[in-house]
């Protein structure tokens, strides 16, 4: 117990520091303006808040729709124990993206404008509607976890019955909406023809963004599960890690093939061997997102070990982030003619929002029924310990 307390105090200090820095950055953004709070300029109008906050935030939240579809539409019951956690992660992810929008938009109090001011020719318009609708879908999908805790049984039963009626419809809507806006985030960059580096520009940016978001979203789900078991005292059948990770490898392979064919079709293959920053960033991205995970996920030692899977998934997430930052920043650097290095006040709000999301996840797991209670009954031969410290505590 004392060990846990001391651990928490360390983390509390870090969290407090992040929040303090985040609050100052918030002050800088809103009281001093973009010029003082960011290194954004006309040639680089989208920086970390779009690249990291929006593109990574939405992409990494793709686990919810994939797991929900697997359980409800495909009947893969083996994912059910982690369904709520996956939906919660996605819901918090989208909430974070919307919170991040408040920093990114120049006039955030007008964030509702797209509801009544339409431009169907705009990819961003489609993205904004899909994100609005899908956030609502996620809130509804997650709502039973909160409603269950309402003490009035009549209201509870009524809501849960009503929820059950619309659930499959919600899940289907979630899949369609996610497919649309995950692709359209890539579609945003179709207009950068001639500006975006050939290693990333493609008429199939939409497909590329979609194919990469699903494995990345699943990787985040694995990370969240590991965090729950390791730090939140959740008992989970360890095989579920393997079940979720198992699909990541083929998804990454499909993406890799598609990416390679696309690069050769666009005549961009010779860029792969040029000595320049873009190419190095490209190989960092491909190494982290495709090559290392594909090798690791084919090793039996990794496949059957939750901790190894956790690190593999962290690599996938790192590679995914490299990809989104390459598209939004690195790939546009040479055409913009300026070298954008974000200011610390750009990074910190994103970090603060992420920390808040992790805290919210933690409290939800502690106070709500996110994981099934009976899953503690794990055959003893499969009982596992992630680290000796976690087991002792």
- Binding part of the chain for other proteins, among 68-76, 84-92, 148-156, 299-307 by CB under 8 A, reads 68-76
What is the end-to-end Cα distance of the chain in Å, rounded?
7
- Counting other chains too, the contacts that 190-198 makes at CB distance below 8 Å and 24 or more residues apart are 190/123, 191/123, 192/332, 194/335, 195/332, 195/335, 195/336, 196/327, 196/331, 196/332, 196/335, 197/271, 197/278, 197/330, 197/331, 197/332, 197/334, 197/335, 198/266, 198/267, 198/268, 198/271
Measured in whole angstroms, how far is the alpha carbon of residue 374 from the centre of its chain? 28
Contacts of 58 (CB under 8 A, 6+ apart): 93, 94, 97, 131, 181, 182, 185, 213
Is residue 380 a contact residue for other proteins (CB under 8 A)? no
Q: How far is the CB of 298 from other proteins (least distance, A)?
A: 21
Q: Within 13 Å of residue 393, how many CA atoms lie on the same side as its CB?
A: 20
- Binding part of the chain for other proteins, among 1-9, 18-26, 27-35, 136-144 by CB under 8 A, reads 27-35
Find residue 23's DSSP bridge partners: none
Is residue 85 a contact residue for other proteins (CB under 8 A)? no
Give the one residue of 3, 7, 12, 113 binding other proteins; rule: CB under 8 A: 113
Is residue 141 a contact residue for other proteins (CB under 8 A)? no
Give the one residue of 73, 254, 390, 393 binding other proteins; rule: CB under 8 A: 73
Token pair recorded at residue 343 = 């200011």
- Binding part of the chain for other proteins, among 89-97, 232-240, 251-259, 299-307 by CB under 8 A, reads 232-240
Give the one residue of 15, 21, 24, 34 binding other proteins; rule: CB under 8 A: 34
- Binding part of the chain for other proteins, among 55-63, 90-98, 106-114, 290-298 by CB under 8 A, reads 106-114
Q: How far is the CB of 80 from other proteins (least distance, A)?
A: 8
Is residue 74 a contact residue for other proteins (CB under 8 A)? yes
Is residue 172 a contact residue for other proteins (CB under 8 A)? yes
What are the phi and psi torsion angles at 41 (to 5°)? -140, 175
Question: Would you say 42 or 165 has its CB closer to other proteins?
Answer: 42
Is residue 162 a contact residue for other proteins (CB under 8 A)? no
Handedness of CA 227, 230, 231, 237 (dihedral sign): positive
Is residue 120 a contact residue for other proteins (CB under 8 A)? yes
What phi-psi label fits residue 75: left (phi over 0), alpha (psi between -120 and 50 degrees) or beta?
left
Q: What is the chain's alpha carbon radius of gyration, rounded to the nearest angstrom?
A: 21
Q: How far is the CB of 130 from other proteins (least distance, A)?
A: 10
Question: Would you say 31 or 153 has its CB closer to other proteins?
Answer: 31
Is residue 110 a contact residue for other proteins (CB under 8 A)? yes
Is residue 373 a contact residue for other proteins (CB under 8 A)? no
Measured in whole angstroms, how far is the alpha carbon of residue 388 from the centre of its chain? 29
Is residue 134 a contact residue for other proteins (CB under 8 A)? no
- DSSP structural state of residue 44: B
Give the one residue of 1, 5, 117, 153 binding other proteins; rule: CB under 8 A: 117
Is residue 33 a contact residue for other proteins (CB under 8 A)? yes
Give the one residue of 48, 56, 180, 185 binding other proteins; rule: CB under 8 A: 180
Contact 61, 142 (CB under 8 A): no
**Pick from 185, 198, 207: nearest CA to 94:** 185
Contact 168, 141 (CB under 8 A): no
- Binding part of the chain for other proteins, among 150-158, 180-188, 318-326, 353-361 by CB under 8 A, reads 180-188
Q: Within 13 Å of residue 124, how many CA atoms lie on the same side as its CB?
A: 11
Interacting residue ranges for other proteins, rule: CB under 8 A: 30-31, 33-35, 38, 40-43, 45-46, 69, 72-78, 80-81, 104-108, 110-111, 113-114, 117-128, 168, 172, 175-176, 179-180, 183-184, 187-188, 190-195, 203, 206, 237, 239-240, 243, 374-375, 377, 379
């Amino acid at each position: 117990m004392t060990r846990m307390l001391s651990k928490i105090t360390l983390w509390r200090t870090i969290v407090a520091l992040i929040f303090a820095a985040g609050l100052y950055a918030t002050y800088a953004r809103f009281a001093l303006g973009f010029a003082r709070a960011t290194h954004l300029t006309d040639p680089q109008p989208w920086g970390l808040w779009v690249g990291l906050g929006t593109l990574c935030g939405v992409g990494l939240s793709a686990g919810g729709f994939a797991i929900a579809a697997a359980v409800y539409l495909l009947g893969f019951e083996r994912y059910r124990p982690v369904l709520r956690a996956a939906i919660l992660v996605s819901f918090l992810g989208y909430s974070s993206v919307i919170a991040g929008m408040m920093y990114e938009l120049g006039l955030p109090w007008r964030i509702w404008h797209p509801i009544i001011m339409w431009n169907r020719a705009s990819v961003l318009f489609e993205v904004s509607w899909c994100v609005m609708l899908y956030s609502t879908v996620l809130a509804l999908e997650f709502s039973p976890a909160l409603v269950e805790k309402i003490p009035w049984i009549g209201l509870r039963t009524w809501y849960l019955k009503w929820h059950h009626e619309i659930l499959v419809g919600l899940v289907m809507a979630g899949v369609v909406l996610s497919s649309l806006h995950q692709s359209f985030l890539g579609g945003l960059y179709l207009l950068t023809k001639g500006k975006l580096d050939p290693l990333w520009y493609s008429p199939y940016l939409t497909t590329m963004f979609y194919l990469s978001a699903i494995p990345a979203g699943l990787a985040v789900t694995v990370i969240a599960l590991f965090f729950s078991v390791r730090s939140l005292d959740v008992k989970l059948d360890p095989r579920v890690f393997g079940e979720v990770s198992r699909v990541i490898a083929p998804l990454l392979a499909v993406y890799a093939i598609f990416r390679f064919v696309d690069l050769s079709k666009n005549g961009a293959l010779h860029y792969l061997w040029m000595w320049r920053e873009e190419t190095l960033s490209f190989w960092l991205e491909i190494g982290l997102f495709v090559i290392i995970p594909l090798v690791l996920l084919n090793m039996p030692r990794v496949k059957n070990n939750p901790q190894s899977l956790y690190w593999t998934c962290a690599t996938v997430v790192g590679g995914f982030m490299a990809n989104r930052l390459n598209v939004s920043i690195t790939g546009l650097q040479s055409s913009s003619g300026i070298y954008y290095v974000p200011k610390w006040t750009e990074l910190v709000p994103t970090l603060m929002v992420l920390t808040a999301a992790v805290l919210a996840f933690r409290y939800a797991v502690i106070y709500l029924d996110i994981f099934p209670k009976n899953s503690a009954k794990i055959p003893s031969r499969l009982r596992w310990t992630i680290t000796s410290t976690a087991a002792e505590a």
